[in-house]
Structure 1
């Protein structure tokens, strides 16, 4: 479960993907504080308590450090940045029934673009379990050797 490093100054354009998703009734947007409870509850219901806690931290920043995918007024995916430590992407998740449509890619690129706009040249994708190939292919991320558990090593309960 290594961390990964990604260049933020060389990200692929996200415009065509966002437009294609809009054509399917899926909107990718930055979360707003008024939607905090609904989004945090969504993450807690469909993912892990740890991710729920991290997502909640995203709302301590303005603008909010969370992007969401919405279809017919319902959250179907999310991605956060800078909620564990500065310059880290994650957590992120998309409901099973919507995977494979490019939603995760769109959320990733929106977060990484926001991080680049905030002045970072590189970002860390933290604690990558099953998505190494996805991040390598999508944004050219590379695994950081000996990076697990990294910044997570001081958690009371790892995992």
Structure 2
């Protein structure tokens, strides 16, 4: 799976994306330190133990580098940055029942804006699955020669 590069200085306007999600009663916010066990367990249960580990790394940062989407105090999705490597986005995931609501795109924007706030000019998306989504949503481009990139020699489990 390839890595992609995002020009953080040319991010599209995120306000319409946030508005769409918030009009559905969904709250977008930075996760709080005391929620680490909840968010990490949710990521592990719905996605993978490896992602649970990365979420825990996001909670070791100050400020926390994990955003969540909630509705009625239930997690619908999350997005992290600065976990696998500096300047990297991910992991990210949205509950299957909540897909199509715009949560994934909104969380992507929040994380990319978080990278930009840290002073990065470029952000990287590692081991991309939905390539077309990232191209369309934020103008991400493939990094030539990036497969397998940082995700080589991954331990099983």
> What value does the CA root-mean-square deviation take over the aligned residues?
1.2
Q: Write out aligned runs for 1:52-67 (5 A).
A: 52-67=52-67
> TM-score under structure 2 normalisation?
0.96
Match of 2:9 in 1: 9
The answer for unaligned runs of 5 or more in structure 1 is: none
Give me the whole-angstrom Cα distance separating, in 1, the residues matched to 2:138 and 2:22: 22
The answer for unaligned runs of 5 or more in structure 2 is: none
Give me the whole-angstrom Cα distance separating, in 1, the residues matched to 2:43 and 2:84: 16
Q: Deviations along 1:10-44, whole A, 9 cap, x unmatched?
A: 11122222222222110110111011111001101
The alignment of Structure 1 onto Structure 2 pairs a total of residues equal to 157
Runs of 4 or more above 4 Å deviation: none
Give me the whole-angstrom Cα distance separating, in 2, the residues matched to 1:23 and 1:147: 38
Q: Write out aligned runs for 1:17-96 (5 A).
A: 17-96=17-96
Give me the whole-angstrom Cα distance separating, in 1, the residues matched to 2:20 and 2:140: 24
| Paired residue secondary structure (2:78) | strand
Match of 2:136 in 1: 137
Q: Deviations along 1:34-66, whole A, 9 cap, x unmatched?
A: 111110011011001111111110001011000
Match of 2:108 in 1: 108
More moved, 36-45 vs 14-23:
14-23
Give me the whole-angstrom Cα distance separating, in 2, the residues matched to 1:2 and 1:39: 27
Match of 1:147 in 2: 146
Q: Deviations along 1:80-137, whole A, 9 cap, x unmatched?
A: 00100100001100011111111000000000001001100001100012x1000000
Contact 1:18-1:27 within 8 A present in 2 as well? no
